């Protein structure tokens, strides 16, 4: 029996599986999703016959991370909540905090990132720490001939994102549970990588920079929105979090240097209050 390798293959001549690496044997191009990315019930590697867990249509490429991980910091634990996922894009959370932190709307934030990315209609995009997918959906509209992978460790966020994308008819997005430190994509296979609003939640960013550089094609673009250091009383609170390894707040010069060390150069940024939007290009 021939298994159609995904709805994207049938409709656009492309498939979601060819760029993915099996989390067990690490071979690329061996994954099979069935019956299609809109309703995945089976995810299997043809190379080693490993069957990935699938939760509500979302393949789990990060089985090594517990669904409820006690190592997560309080902010990361909050983002695993179904209630938080439901409220995330409402006026009570993301739009409100974006306006307070940056003085701009979430719509303007996304527009600026899309402009920095210079994304093309046929590009393949990975949206890291995608949450409920507001960036992933924006990229999907810009790549009607391409693909978008929304990757997060929170099933509640991914489940919400999956429902919203399908409700809006965006069939060129697939949501995956994955580890930002061990990305399930082949080397030099992705045109654009984005990470909106999560990098400041991590202490050591070096493994993340290396993974982003590894999966990007030459001349591929990395874009992100994160938080920068500020002054006064807020600076003291930021330093308290940094000293305990619970967060990182970025200075553009140091960020440019860190990214250059892994082959991501041509650094540019926009700063809005404590919000930092930046891009870098793979050498």
User: Per the domain annotation, does 137 fall within a domain?
Assistant: yes
User: Per the domain annotation, does 81 fall within a domain?
Assistant: yes
Q: Angle at Cα 56 formed by Cα 119 and Cα 190, nearest 5°?
A: 20
User: Per the domain annotation, does 1 fall within a domain?
Assistant: no
User: Per the domain annotation, does 263 fall within a domain?
Assistant: yes
- How far is it, in rounded angstroms, from Cα 187 to Cα 189? 6
Is the separation of the CB atoms in 56 and 162 below 8 Å? yes
User: Per the domain annotation, does 8 fall within a domain?
Assistant: no
- Number of structural domains found in the chain: 1
User: Per the domain annotation, does 35 fall within a domain?
Assistant: no
Is the separation of the CB atoms in 209 and 262 below 8 Å? yes
- Is residue 163 over pLDDT 50? yes
Mean pLDDT of 57-66: 95
What is the structure's pLDDT at 47?
Answer: 96
Mean pLDDT of 93-101: 92
End-to-end CA distance of the chain: 43
Is the separation of the CB atoms in 38 and 166 below 8 Å? yes
User: Per the domain annotation, does 218 fall within a domain?
Assistant: yes
β-strand partners of 147: 124
pLDDT in tens, 18-34: 999 999 999 999 999 99
What is the structure's pLDDT at 14?
Answer: 60
Write down the residue that tokens 């019930």 correspond to: 41
User: Per the domain annotation, does 102 fall within a domain?
Assistant: yes
Which region, left, alpha or beta, applies to residue 252 given φ > 0 means left and ψ of -120 to 50 means alpha?
alpha
Which CATH number covers residue 107? 3.40.50.150
- Stated pTM of the model: 0.92
Domain that holds residue 196: 58-282
pLDDT-based confidence at 6, cuts 50/70/90?
A: very low
């Amino acid at each position: 029996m021939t298994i159609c390798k995904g709805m994207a293959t049938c409709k656009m001549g492309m498939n979601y599986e060819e760029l993915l690496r099996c989390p067990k044997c690490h071979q690329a191009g061996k994954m099979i999703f069935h019956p299609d990315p809109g309703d995945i019930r089976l995810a299997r590697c043809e190379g080693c016959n490993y069957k990935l867990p699938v939760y509500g249509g979302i393949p789990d490429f990060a089985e090594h991370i517990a669904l409820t991980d006690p190592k997560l910091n309080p902010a990361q634990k909050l983002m695993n909540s179904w209630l938080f996922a439901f409220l995330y894009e409402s006026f009570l959370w993301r739009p409100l905090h974006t306006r307070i932190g940056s003085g701009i709307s979430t719509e303007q934030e996304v527009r600026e990132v899309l402009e920095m990315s210079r994304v093309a209609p046929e590009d393949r995009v990975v949206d890291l720490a995608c949450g409920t997918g507001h960036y992933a959906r924006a990229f999907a509209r810009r790549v009607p001939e391409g693909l978008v992978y929304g990757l997060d460790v929170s099933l509640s966020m991914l489940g919400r994102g999956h429902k919203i994308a399908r409700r809006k008819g965006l069939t060129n997005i697939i949501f995956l549970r994955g580890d930002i430190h061990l990305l399930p994509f082949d080397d030099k296979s992705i045109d654009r990588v984005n990470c909106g609003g999560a990098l400041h939640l991590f202490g050591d960013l070096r493994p993340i920079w290396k993974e982003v550089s590894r999966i990007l094609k030459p001349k591929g673009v990395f874009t992100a929105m994160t938080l920068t250091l500020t002054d006064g009383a807020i600076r003291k609170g930021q330093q308290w979090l940094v000293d305990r390894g619970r967060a990182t707040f970025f200075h553009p010069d140091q960020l440019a240097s860190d990214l250059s060390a892994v082959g991501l150069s041509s650094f540019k940024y926009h700063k809005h209050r404590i919000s930092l939007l930046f891009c870098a290009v793979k050498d």
